[in-house]
């Protein structure tokens, strides 16, 4: 069976933190999360998204889920000349 590339979901927490000019320590305190967990989200080092955590982040940063997550589609190989 062929492995298919479906693309991936990019977590943009690091960008949001910088845009809002707050520290990871403040976010971890306000969102009641461990700093290591914040770092994992900032580094896109999460394999399974927790909707409760995403809701806490969005509520804390006063943002929408689409501000936090972005779907990056796989490259379309049909237009790249591959047969």
* Domain assignments of the chain as residue spans, ordered by start: 8-76
Q: Decide if 68 contacts 54 (C-beta within 8 A).
A: yes
Bridge partners of 11? Answer: 69
Q: Give the pTM.
A: 0.79
Closest among 4, 16, 10, 6 to 71, alpha carbons compared: 10
Quick count: other Cβ atoms within 10 Å of Cβ 14? 15
Q: Which two structure tokens, joined as six digits, stand for 7?
A: 């693309």
- Looking at residue 80, what is its pLDDT? 45
Per-residue pLDDT of the chain (83 residues; tens, 9 = 90+): 567 789 999 999 999 999 999 999 999 999 999 999 999 999 999 989 999 999 999 999 999 999 999 999 998 545 444 43
Bridge partners of 10? Answer: 70
Residues 6+ apart with CB under 8 A from 73: 7
What CATH homologous superfamily does 8-76 map to? lambda repressor-like DNA-binding domains (1.10.260.40)
């Amino acid at each position: 069976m062929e492995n298919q590339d479906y693309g991936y979901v990019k977590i943009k927490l690091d960008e949001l933190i910088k845009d809002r000019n707050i520290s990871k320590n403040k976010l971890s305190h306000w969102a009641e999360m461990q700093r290591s967990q914040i770092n994992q989200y900032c580094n896109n080092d999460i394999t399974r998204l927790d909707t409760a955590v995403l809701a806490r982040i969005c509520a804390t940063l006063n943002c929408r889920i689409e501000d936090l997550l972005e779907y990056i589609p796989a490259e379309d190989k049909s237009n790249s000349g591959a047969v």
